[in-house]
Amino acid sequence: MEELGNSQGLLTDAVGGQCREFMLSMKEIQTTLREEIKSAYGYRPFEKCDYSARTANEICCKKLEYVNEKMDAMQLSIEQSTNEV
């Protein structure tokens, strides 16, 4: 423990070297995983993602379909009541 506390000790240099090597390995693994994910899923950065716009468009289309169905039902009801009179 005294040697670790001493900033000039050989053990401190060895531990520092091991830590640097470990962190470089972790960075390399992270980079490799990121590239694998991008290639596997066609990953696009979030700021370029159009998910929100596509979802909003799908919701609008469903609303329009619903309104169209209601309008068709109203038209049919008007035609039936006109034929009865």
Distance in angstroms (rounded) separating the CA atoms of residues 85 and 79: 10
Query: What are the tens digits of pLDDT across the range 27-58?
Result: 888 888 877 777 766 655 555 667 777 888 88
Q: Write down the pLDDT at residue 7.
A: 60
- Residue 3 pLDDT: 56
Phi and psi at 25, nearest 5°, equal -65, -40
Q: What is the pLDDT of residue 29?
A: 86
pLDDT for residue 20: 87
Cα separation, 78 vs 21, whole angstroms: 80
Separation of first and last alpha carbons in the chain: 102
Judged by phi (left if over 0) then psi (alpha if -120 to 50, else beta), residue 42 lies in left
